[in-house]
C-alpha cells in the first residue's frame, strides 16, 4: 500500500484539469492494487509513479494516464515531433533512448504521444504526472 500522507500534506492536485487531491489518491491507490506502485517526486502539481508490474496492453494504460493527466502527453510525449525537429535544425544528435522510443512511430499521427507513452512505460516502468 502506498503512503498517501505526502500527497495529502502537499495537496497534490490537478485543479486545472478538475482533478482533486482525493482523485489523485484514489487513482494511485487503484493502480497500486492492480500493478503495485511506488511514488516519488511529490509536489503540489506533480508525482512520479513507478510500476512494479504492467498490463500486457500498455496502450490502454497509457490512454488511461492521458485522460487522467493530459499534460503527460500534451506537453510531453506528444511534443516529440517538435523536439526532434528542433534538434535536427540545431545539428544535435538525438539521445539513443529517444531514437529507440520513436523508431517506427508515425509522428504525424494525431495520437502518437499515447503510443510513445505506452512504449516508455514498457522501457521505464515509470511515468511522471504533472498538472499545470
pTM above 0.85, yes or no: yes
Sign (positive or negative) of CA dihedral 99, 131, 66, 31: positive
Burial class (CB in 10 A: 0-12, 13-18, 19+), 113: buried
Would you say 17 and 69 are in contact if contact means Cβ atoms under 8 Å apart? yes
pLDDT (tens, 9 = 90+) of the chain, 132 residues, equals 799 999 999 999 999 999 999 999 999 999 999 999 999 999 999 999 999 999 999 999 999 999 999 999 999 999 999 999 999 999 999 889 998 999 999 999 999 999 999 999 999 999 999 998
Predicted pLDDT of residue 9: 97
In this predicted structure, what is the pLDDT of residue 94?
Answer: 87
d(CA 65, CA 129): 8
The structural domains of the chain, with segments of one domain joined by +, span 5-130
Amino acid at each position: 500500500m502506498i503512503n498517501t500522507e505526502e500527497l495529502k500534506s502537499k495537496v497534490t492536485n490537478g485543479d486545472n484539469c478538475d482533478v482533486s487531491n482525493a482523485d489523485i489518491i484514489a487513482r494511485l491507490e487503484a493502480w497500486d492494487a492492480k500493478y503495485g506502485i511506488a511514488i516519488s517526486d511529490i509536489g503540489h502539481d506533480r508525482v512520479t509513479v513507478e510500476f512494479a508490474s504492467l498490463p500486457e496492453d500498455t496502450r490502454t494504460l497509457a490512454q488511461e494516464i492521458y485522460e487522467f493527466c493530459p499534460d503527460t502527453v500534451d506537453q510531453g510525449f506528444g511534443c516529440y515531433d517538435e523536439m526532434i525537429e528542433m534538434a535536427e535544425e540545431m545539428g544535435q544528435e538525438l539521445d539513443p533512448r529517444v531514437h529507440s522510443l520513436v523508431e517506427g512511430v508515425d509522428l504525424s499521427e494525431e495520437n502518437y504521444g499515447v503510443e510513445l507513452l505506452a512504449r516508455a512505460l514498457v522501457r521505464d516502468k515509470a511515468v511522471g504526472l504533472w498538472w499545470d
